[in-house]
Amino acid sequence: MSAAGVALMLGGAGILISAGPAQAAEVSYKTECIPPSISGLPPVQGTTKVLITAPAEAKVGDEVEIVWKTVQAASKNPDVLDLGQDTVKPTGVLTVGGAAGGTVAMEGPRKNPPIPKNSPMVLPDMKGKLRLEKAGEITLTPGNYTINVSKPLSTDTKCAPKETVPVGATIKVTAGGGGTTTSGGTTSSSGTTTSGGTTTGGTTTSGGTTTGGSSNSTGGSGSGGSGGGQTAFPGKEVAVGFSCQAPGPAAITSKVTIDAKKNGGSYDLTVKTAKGVMDSPAPLPAGALKASMGIKVGGADSGTVNVTGPPNPAALKMGDPVNLPDMKGTYKPGATGKATLSPGTLTIKVTLGDSQMEIPCQVKGAVQASLELDTSKQAGGTNGGGSNPSGGGSGTPSGGSDGGNLAETGAEDDGALRALALVAGTVILLGGAVFTFTPWARLRR
């Protein structure tokens, strides 16, 4: 690589002057990269190769430009998705050592050629500026860097050294005094580092509305079709643990309450969860995340009632707590007697344009019933015609199937469909933000 002269900007006057010959030195270091949480993938180990270019000599008071060229990223673009042109943006941190300390924030443009699957990552050069205020030898050492991929979902992969990194460049600073500081917002001799990466903005969701009602597990309206008696049946709050499939959160713990309101021979259900049941897996626009749940019917009746909530009303930043709005559906009894309603599978659906991912979260362990109702059998009820889909869930009535097995059969079919959606969604949402190899066998699982 030729040692071209690096322009120096003198103070704020905008006068370009010649500096000492530029130097470039390639260094390599073992690196651990943390994929986005939405990917569900483990950290990946690799080797990063960096070429640091800076002027060999400068004077106190000069502001020098430093260039970070990523010769080799920690891994190739996984065999998952082709990355489009100008979708990748790197940021990083250089450590200043020697005669002075501090850090330099490095940033590259969102500019890259198309990057096919299973091919080397091509990252644009990052640049930063350092104002020199102390004489002596100044060392520049590359360190942490972050890769942001903007499409189809803005995601960050954060990479950090796993060994001592060699010095990438040295600047001989003559004359003057004072401490070395960085321009562009990073700190001086304290050594505070500026993290890179960009994310889309957003605000935390406002959460679902809740209805009143005391904790009461028992209904008591008697016959389902009668016009008098009690019409509102508040459920009791029960604790539920959910185990989610990747790339969803590993586990969710929430309090769940099922309330019912009599509507003719049926019951309108409202299901409430605790606030902050999970963290947003990525920056999401308003309307991108939606939850549904399969309410298990037991006791004298059987089957599943699907309840669905509205999408998130406001945009979410990555890591924001997610408050699921109330989920609603209709329960039509399929048997006469005391029927119980308990929380079942929670499904998180993420939709971005034409791309969609469904993450099923299965109930862990035994769960108490939140509500018990005195019911009267209705034509087409859960026990006589399968799961009631009126809440907008994915289950559908099974027609002439045996009533005692409908809930189990529907769950198996639904699980298969969601598994397929998970694979397709994972391929789309991972983008190229993950520096790791993702075997297709893993995606199939």
Q: Is the pLDDT at 345 greater than 80, yes or no?
A: yes
Highest mean pLDDT among 23-32, 67-76, 314-323: 67-76
- How far is CA 422 from each of CA 92, 320, 356, 409, 419, rounded to the nearest angstrom? 32, 22, 9, 20, 5
Whole-angstrom distance, CA of residue 94 vs CA of residue 69: 12
Least confident of 42-46, 128-132, 422-426: 422-426
CB 356 within 8 A of CB 427: no
**Phi, psi (deg, nearest 5) at residue 313:** -75, -20
Q: What is the pLDDT of residue 433?
A: 35
Q: What is the pLDDT of residue 108?
A: 95
Sign of CA dihedral 241, 243, 244, 249: positive
The residue with greater pLDDT, 103 or 411, is: 103
The residue with greater pLDDT, 232 or 153, is: 232
Q: Which residues pair with 342 in a beta bridge?
A: 296
**Phi, psi (deg, nearest 5) at residue 180:** -80, 130
Q: What is the pLDDT of residue 22?
A: 66
Q: Is the pLDDT at 274 greater than 50, yes or no?
A: yes
Q: What is the pLDDT of residue 350?
A: 86
Amino acid at 302: S
What tokens does 210 get?
């809740």
Q: What is the pLDDT of residue 156?
A: 82
The residue with greater pLDDT, 121 or 185, is: 121
Is pTM beyond 0.85? Reply is no
Q: Is the pLDDT at 19 greater than 70, yes or no?
A: no
What is the separation, in whole angstroms, between the first and last Cα of the chain?
Answer: 46
- Name, in order, each residue with C-beta under 8 angstroms of 413's C-beta and a sequence gap of 6 or more: none
Q: What is the pLDDT of residue 67?
A: 95
Q: Are strands 289-299 and 337-342 parallel, antiparallel or unpaired?
A: antiparallel
Question: Tell me: the pLDDT tens digits for 58-67?
Answer: 999 999 999 9
**Phi, psi (deg, nearest 5) at residue 426:** -60, -45
Whole-angstrom distance, CA of residue 388 vs CA of residue 397: 6
- Calculate the dihedral angle through the C-alpha atoms of 186, 188, 193, 197, rounding to the nearest 10 degrees: 20
CB 170 within 8 A of CB 140: yes
Whole-angstrom distance, CA of residue 44 vs CA of residue 48: 12
In whole angstroms, what separates CA 53 from the centre of its chain?
Answer: 35
Q: What is the pLDDT of residue 415?
A: 37
Q: What is the pLDDT of residue 59?
A: 93
Question: Tell me: the pLDDT tens digits for 170-182?
Answer: 999 998 544 433 3
Q: Is the pLDDT at 366 greater than 50, yes or no?
A: yes
Q: CA angle, 185 as apex, 179 and 191 as ends, to 5°? A: 50
Sign of CA dihedral 431, 435, 436, 437: positive
Whole-angstrom distance, CA of residue 408 vs CA of residue 418: 15
Q: Are strands 44-55 and 22-34 parallel, antiparallel or unpaired?
A: antiparallel
What tokens does 228 get?
């008098």
Domains and CATH numbers, the chain: 8-182 (2.60.40), 232-444 (no CATH)
Q: What is the pLDDT of residue 234?
A: 95
Placement of tokens 């790339």 in the chain: 247
In whole angstroms, what separates CA 52 from the centre of its chain?
Answer: 32
Q: What is the pLDDT of residue 426?
A: 40
The number of CA neighbours under 13 Å toward the Cβ of 314 is: 14
Q: Is the pLDDT at 384 greater than 60, yes or no?
A: no
Residue 368 exposed, middle or buried by CB count within 10 Å (0-12, 13-18, 19+): middle
